[in-house]
Structure formats: C-alpha cells, structure tokens
Structure 1
Amino acid sequence: MYAVEQYARAHIVTDTADTFDDEHRSVPVALRYDPEDDPRLVHITLPGPHEWVFARELLEQGLRVPASSGGVRIWPCGRVQAVLEFHSAQSVAVVQLDAKPLIRFLRSTYKAATPVAH
C-alpha cells in the first residue's frame, strides 16, 4: 500500500469573491490519499490553510449524483465537471473541477489500497 497525491486545477465559484476575476480564477488543488493513515478517507487541500478530509465513498458517489456528509457536498455539473462545496463555521468554499482528474485520483486510491502480492 502506498500514498497517492495528485494535483488539479479548480475554479472558485463562491459568491464571496472580491471581484469577478477572483470568482472565476483557476486555483491549484491537492488531492491526497494515504491508506496507512485511514483507507476510508481522502484529503483535498485548497489554497491557504484549507484542508478537507472526508470519505472516499462520498467523492465517488458525488461524481454520479448529489451527495453530502457533514460540511461537504459534492455533485456532478454536466457530464464533465463536478462541484465541491465545503462548509466551516467561518465560511463556505465552492469549487468546480473537471471530473477526469477526480476519477483518475479515485482509481489510483483503489490501486494504492490493494495489498501487493509477493
């Protein structure tokens, strides 16, 4: 088993952006999975100190149909994108990503969680 880390680009779509350019700018997102830490969880890090940890199953489900758990909501947006909404006591962050990197990431997590036969 091994950890998986992947990077993607997301568009901020929250209505709290200061300007139109802020609202539609592309930002880096880090996707991380460590089966030795907890094989059920994935980590998504947004710019700044914003890391969200939630069930890998929620990400997989949210790519197909709207899904939520706690402060995380995920839903498909058309055929090729997904929206992730993160709620905290201080704010709400909404980002839109292409689904392909998320699907690739999920596939990698399942490979990483499978013990290697010797």
Structure 2
Amino acid sequence: MVTAVEQTVHARLIVTAGLSCDFVARLGYRPEDPFAVRLTFPAEISLDGTEQTWTFARDLLGEGMLAPAGAGDVHVWPCGPHRTMVELHGPEGAAMLRLRSAEVRAFLARSYAAVPEGAEDPRADLASLLVALVGGV
C-alpha cells in the first residue's frame, strides 16, 4: 500500500519590499488524489487564525521548478538555483512565498516514488484490474 507523503518546507511570506515573515509550511501528497499537492500554512500566519491549505496540480509544482508555470490562482517559478517562488491569488488578495528548492525537489521525488508520473490515471491499469476482478475468465 502506498502511503501519503508529507514534508515540511521553510517558507518566507513576502508582504512588501523589505517586509517578510519566515515560517514552516507543509507540502502534502495523497496517492488517492494523484494529480494534486497541498500546501498548508500554519494558523499563526493566516488572516483568520486557522490553518489554511491550497491544493493545486503536482505537475504545476514540478514545472515551476524549471521555468515559470501556472495560470489562474497559482503561479510557480524558479528564483535562482536555491529558491522557488509560489504566488497564490484568492478572494482575500495575493500571497507571494519563497520556498527552498531542495525541500520542494525532495518532496516531489517522494511523491513520484509513491505514484510515478504518468501512472496517476486509475484507468491506466484498468485491464489488470478487470482481470483480477473476474479471475482471469
């Protein structure tokens, strides 16, 4: 059985030029939702004092490690060799985060070990599942 992948990442919330806040966030991946990753912020940095989670495509995070990626509410891009930027847009406004690229790469490697790229679609192994269900008949 493949288990969920979780990893803490050091993050910096960039409020304005010269004003930022360092914190520890969590990246999460669940094989039962194979296309998505979750980025969870601790309660102490959220506007309403509760833990907040953003869910977006695992591919977006991987692509954004190499070149600017994203459309809509989530954008990811490399910021030099050691940092990755994540920009989030919601009803309350926008947030700009800087993550350590090594931690993001380690998380992605673990998520791809759990569910390899291209194996996310549960229909991909439908023939094997059907054979198992009907006993090879």
**TM-score interval (norm. to shorter):** 0.7 to 0.9
The reply to whether residue 40 of structure 1 matches residue 44 of structure 2 is: no
Unmatched 5+ stretches in structure 1: none
Which range is displaced more, 46-55 or 60-69?
Answer: 46-55
Distance in 2 between the 1:98 and 1:8 partners?
Answer: 7
SS in structure 2 at match of 1:2: coil
Distance in 1 between the 2:70 and 2:42 partners?
Answer: 22
| Map of 1:24 onto structure 2 | 20
Distance in 1 between the 2:56 and 2:29 partners?
Answer: 11
Q: Which has the larger radius of gyration?
A: 2
Distance in 2 between the 1:47 and 1:84 partners?
Answer: 16
TM superposition shift of 1:50: 2.0
Distance in 1 between the 2:94 and 2:74 partners?
Answer: 10
Between Structure 1 and Structure 2, how many residues are aligned? 109
TM superposition shift of 1:12: 1.1
Does the Cα contact within 8 Å between 1:14 and 1:95 map onto a contact in 2?
Answer: no
Distance in 2 between the 1:64 and 1:109 partners?
Answer: 17
TM superposition shift of 1:56: 0.2
Find the partner of 1:72 among 74, 78, 86: 74
Unmatched 5+ stretches in structure 2: 44-50, 120-137
| Map of 1:109 onto structure 2 | 111
| Map of 2:9 onto structure 1 | 8
TM superposition shift of 1:67: 0.6
Q: What is the TM-score of this pair, normalised by structure 1?
A: 0.85
Higher helix share: 2
Q: CA RMSD in A?
A: 1.7
Which range is displaced more, 42-51 or 96-105?
Answer: 42-51
The reply to whether residue 98 of structure 1 matches residue 100 of structure 2 is: yes
Distance in 2 between the 1:107 and 1:8 partners?
Answer: 14
